[in-house]
Amino acid sequence: MVIFLSILAIVVVFALYFVGVYNRLVRLRNQGEEAESAIDAHLKQRYDLVPNLVETVKGYAKHESSTLTAVIEARNKAMSASGTIEKDEANKGFSSTLKSLFALSEAYPDLKANQGFLDLQKQLQKIEEQLLSARKYYNAIIKQFNTVCDVFPSSIVASMAKFAKKPYLTIEEEARARVEVKF
């Protein structure tokens, strides 16, 4: 009888541990999905703002159509991307084309002084900051999730319940380059 109770106690402890780890993994997965949805919402704002920005620039830089076309094409590609990694890669390309759009403003002093353009630029900057925060939050949640999936003995529960590690979001290569300040 003592052996039976000991085995039963071990099984109950294991079951409670399994349920606890499983529930933690589910919570982290759900938080990761929520963070991914927040990123999508910020990206949608960004995509909606860009056509207004492009139209404003068009008025000043009519002969710069290749840059403007590249921005719209990158936006459309990013909007049609599916999956976290594909979206992240498409948005890296989109960010690069946005930089070239803002470089155009340097060539057109009237555009730099245009209040509509400045307002749109501020809105885009705010969205970019929110997007960065959402990406940091997503990566923090994924770090916790991946740690639970990797650490023993919770890795046993994760593999039994078919939870797999998730990828982090990364920055584009241009952002990794060292910024040089010249006077």
* Selected residue with higher pLDDT from 121 and 60: 121
Going from the C-alpha of 182 to that of each of 112, 179, the distances in angstroms are: 22, 10
CATH architecture of the domain formed by 2-170:
Up-down Bundle (1.20)
pLDDT mean across residues, the chain: 83
* CA–CA separation, 129 and 34 (whole Å): 18
The pTM score is 0.74
Residue 181: what pLDDT? 40
Give residue-wise pLDDT tens across range 17-27: 999 999 999 99
